[in-house]
Each structure stands twice: as structure tokens, then as C-alpha cells.
Amino acid sequence: MRVQVGIIGAGPAGLMLARLLHLQGISSVVLESRSRPYVETRLRAGLLEQGSVDLINETGMGERLRQECLPHDGIELIFNGERHRVDMQALINRRVYIYGQQEMVKDMVAVNLAAGVPIEFEAEVRSFDGIDGDKPTIHYRQNGADHALACDYIAGCDGFHGVARRDFPQKGRQDYDCVYPFGWLGILVDAPPANHELLYCHHQRGFALFTMRSPKVSRLYLQVPPDEDENAWSDDRIWNEFRTRLGKHEGLEVSMGKITQKSVIEMRSYVTEPMRAERLFLAGDSAHIVPPTGAKGMNLAISDVYVLAKAFTAFYKRGATDLFDAYTQKCLRRVWGAQHFSWWMTSMLHTMPDASAFDVRRQIAELQTITGSVSGRKLLAENYAGLPIEM
Ligand code: RFL
Ligand code: PHB
């Protein structure tokens, strides 16, 4: 089997890339180590920027999203007993959308398969070679047998624990890493959201986030120690902690219900540069991850492959390679903007384990500075709602 682009990973990056290439008449095969039901139910992101939603619609993958997504005009920050709304619609005329990543993946898989784009599930990539020649090969294992996929180029869309970055050439490579001294306990609850918009709560006991997946399902997160065991959190302990960190506000109640999923999530910022080595390109979480506080990871994955698909199109239509050369720099500008924003939101809203009384008081002053002026709210809104998909 030989294709133009071999794509490792059927997450948002790999599936969006396959679709964009197909629309330009460029052939690809997607190799995914997990099963189709697994990727279609894996609980991850929930918040999409306008630019991502526009691209999903333009590529014909947005039919269900348009019916089921929840558009949000603003978010609320809660700290020091105060509620502050950041009205993105009024400030910058932009909004964001709640739509579960697993739902988006389901839609992307269905549209790609219906168009005849091959997605091989339970096909685990073990290695690749030839990226410095003109015939790269991807080696994978499926149904107990070894296979090889010959391609012109390889797109490593295989996430943070994949093989593309692991085996990316070391020469000239620089990694940037920041691990936070806390994690998130994430729960999924059969109960309506506490509020129609997201609530980001700063509290001396730690951060809490109230988000959602639908009008009947809430998604909630609590700052916890990084190596926390989720089984140490009984339902009672979870609900008491959410009540404390939210505080008392007129019309706001923690709505309790059956907890259907519970897990601890690591918080990390990471970038590897460059994102290309000869005929291998990294895109999405394989090249960079952000702490989820800024809701940027999946949006970055989508914008990376938008840039990459343009480069492949220029090459296959006109033989031009300048966009391949520009790929890393074009992506990194947006990636580092999102890195900074995610780090800033994380450090502004979380309580450091060794925080002094001064640190906590200063954080409240920072939150008051940001929410207390139009320019502060605008800065937050512009970054939260997302920079243009291409910069
Ligand atoms: P993915 O989604 O990890 O997909 C990579 C795919 O590659 C497969 N794979 C392999 N396949 C073949 N062979 C191998 N050797 C392979 N190794 C791995 C994997 O099985 C997988 O299917 O990466 P991608 O496509 O780059 O997408 C990135 C996003 O998934 C990620 O950034 C977001 O989930 C981050 N994120 C959020 N992003 C947002 O934009 N908005 C949000 O609201 C948001 N909330 C979140 C989040 C991430 C979270 N967690 C769990 C880390 C909330 C949370 C809690
Ligand atoms: C989510 O809905 O899972 C979500 C939303 C916003 C964030 C992080 C996670 O900042």
C-alpha cells in the first residue's frame, strides 16, 4: 500500500488533516492504535473556539455540532466571594462553543469513512523510517500481523504519548517543559450544569471549574495534589469541596447527581521545536500540550493541521515546498501565544501548595485588576475566544 500522507493517530488533529487532504484530492491513510468505540467515547475536551467550529463546518463535518453544541457568550470568574462575568460577545463580538471532543471525533470518523478515507483502527504504529529520503515507511501491527505503509510524508498526530515525537530526530531539537505541582480531579455528572456559562473559581483550598457537556450533563474539575488517587474522593467529599470552593451566591447551586466518571488529570505545559524533521511533521499534542485551564489543546491541534494541509496542498498542486519550510514558525507563534495564556490562567486561578498569605492576596488583586477594567476583560476575552486560526 502506498499513499501520499501517512497519518499516525485518529484524534482531532489526524482526523481533521485527513479530511482537509481529501478535499484537496490528496490521499492519506489514518493509523490508530485504539478501537473505534474507544476513540469515540474517550472523554477529553469540551470547549471549541469559533475558528475551530468554522473549520469543522466548512469541511462538512458540522451537521450534528450545529444542532447539539451549546454556544456561550461569556464566562464567569469567581473569587473572594465576588462574581465577575467576562462578556466575550459584547467585548470582542466572539463566542465559544461546548461540544464534547468524543462527539466531534465521532462526526469526523463518520465523514471520513463515508468519503472513502481509510482509517485503520487497532493499528499500532511501532516505528517509521526513511524520513530523510523520498520513501518514508510506517511500520504498524494490526490483528497480530506486521504491516508497512509506504508514503511520501508522515504526519505524527499521535498525541503526547505517541511514537512520532519519541522517535523524532534529536539533532537541533529543543524541548520546553513545565510541570505544575497539582492536577485536576475531573468528574462527569448526570445533573444539569450549575450555571448556563462556565464558572472558573479561585479559592484558597484550590481551583474549581464548572463546565458541561449538555443541558443534562455536567463536567466538573477540582484542583488536587498531582499524584492524588481518585478513590480517595467519595461522593460526599467531592460535593462538599465543590460547595466550599464555589461559595454562596444568589441563584447558584452545585447541582448534584450520579457521578458516572472520575479521574485525575496531569497538568503540564510542553513544546518541542522544530515541528518538522525532513518528511516527518508533528501536529497537535504530539508537539505541544497545555494545561486545560485555557481550553486550548484541541483548538491548537486543529489550527496546526490547517497550516499543514495548506503546505501539502501547495506541494501537490504546484510543487512548492516553501510552506513546508515555514510550517514550524507559522504554528509556533500561535502555540506560544496559547502556552502563555494557558500558563497565565493556570497560575492566576490555582492555589500553589506552598502559597503564602501574600501570594493569595496578590492573586486576588490580579483577578480584580483583570476583571475590573474593560481592557483587562478584553485581554482575557481575546485570548480565551481564540486568536485567528492562521496568524
Ligand atoms: P489525541 O487526541 O491525543 O489523539 C492522538 C491519537 O493517536 C493515537 N495514538 C496512536 N495511534 C497509532 N499508533 C500509535 N503508536 C499511537 N499512539 C497514539 C491515540 O490513541 C489517539 O487516538 O491528540 P490530538 O489529535 O493532537 O488532539 C489533542 C486533544 O485531544 C487535546 O489537546 C485536548 O483534549 C486538550 N483539552 C482541551 N482542549 C481544548 O481545546 N478545549 C478544551 O476544553 C479542552 N479540555 C483537554 C480538556 C484535555 C483534557 N485532558 C484529559 C488532558 C480537558 C481535559 C480534562
Ligand atoms: C471542558 O468542558 O472540559 C473544559 C472547558 C473549559 C476548560 C477546560 C475544560 O478551560
**Contact (CB, 8 A) for 62 and 349:** no
Q: What is the pLDDT of residue 391?
A: 59
Average pLDDT score over residue span 112-116? 98
Q: Does domain 180-267+353-385 have CATH number 3.30.9.10?
A: yes
pLDDT class for 1, splitting at 50, 70, 90?
Answer: low
Q: How far is the CA of 168 from the centre of ligand 1 (A)?
A: 19
Give the domain ranges of the chain. 2-72+98-177+268-349, 180-267+353-385
Give the number of the atom of ligand 1 that is nearest the alpha carbon of residue 39.
22
Nearest Cα residue to atom 4 of ligand 2: 46
Distance of CA 250 to the CA centre of its chain: 33
CA 270 / ligand 1 centre spacing (Å): 14
For residue 266, what is the enclosing H or E element?
Answer: strand 258-273
To test the pocket of ligand 2, the residue of 49, 52, 75, 198 to mutate (highest count of ligand atoms within 8 Å of its CB) is 198
Distance between CA atoms of residues 357 and 208, nearest Å: 20
Residue 300 has pLDDT above 90, yes or no: yes
Ligand positioned closest to the Cα atom of 289? 1
- The catalytic site residues sit at 72, 200, 292, 296, 384
Q: What is the pLDDT of residues 172-196, one digit of tens each?
A: 999 999 999 999 999 999 999 999 9
CA of residue 12 to ligand 1 center, whole Å: 7
Among 124, 112, 106, 95, smallest CA distance to 43 is for 106
Q: Look at ligand 1, atom 47, and give the residue with the nearest C-alpha.
A: 45
Signed CA dihedral, 32, 33, 37, 42: sign only: negative
Q: Is the CB of 45 under 6 A from ligand 1?
A: yes
Query: What does the pLDDT read at residue 385?
Result: 95
**pLDDT range class, residue 66, cuts 50, 70, 90:** very high
Distance 211 CA to ligand 2 centre (A): 6
Nearest CA to ligand 1 atom 41: 295
- One-letter-per-residue 3-state SS of 326-358: HHHHHHHHHHHHHHHHHHHHHHHHCCCCCCCHH
In order of 43, 221, 290, 338, the CA distances from 346 in angstroms are 21, 13, 10, 12
Q: Which three cell numbers stand for residue 296?
A: 486550548
248-251-257 Cα angle (round to 5): 85
Cβ-in-10-Å burial (0-12, 13-18, 19+) of 279 comes to buried
Residues 39/204, Cβ–Cβ less than 8 Å: no
Identify the pLDDT of residue 387.
Answer: 78
pLDDT number for residue 47: 97
Q: Is the pLDDT of residue 388 over 90?
A: no
217-224 β-sheet, strand order = 82-87, 74-79, 198-201, 208-214, 217-224, 174-190, 258-273, 288-289
Would the pLDDT of 2 be above 80?
no
Angle at 101 between CA 268 and CA 380, to 5 degrees: 55
DSSP string computed for 141-162: EETTEEEEEEEEEEEE---TTS
Instruction: Compute the mean pLDDT over every residue in the chain, rounded to the nearest whole number.
Output: 97
Q: What is the pLDDT of residues 315-352, one digit of tens each?
A: 999 999 999 999 999 999 999 999 999 999 999 999 99
- So what's the pLDDT on residue 250? 92
Q: Quick check: 223 and 206 in contact, CB under 8 A? A: yes
Pocket test residue of 185, 195, 210, 211 for ligand 2, highest count of atoms within 8 A of CB = 211
- Please write the tens of the pLDDT for every residue from 251-270: 999 989 999 999 999 999 99
Q: How far is the CA of 43 from the centre of ligand 1 (A)?
A: 10
Residue 212: band (very low, low, confident or very high) from pLDDT cuts 50, 70, 90: very high
Top-level CATH class of 2-72+98-177+268-349? alpha beta
Please compute the mean of the pLDDT values over residues 290-299 and round it to a whole number: 97
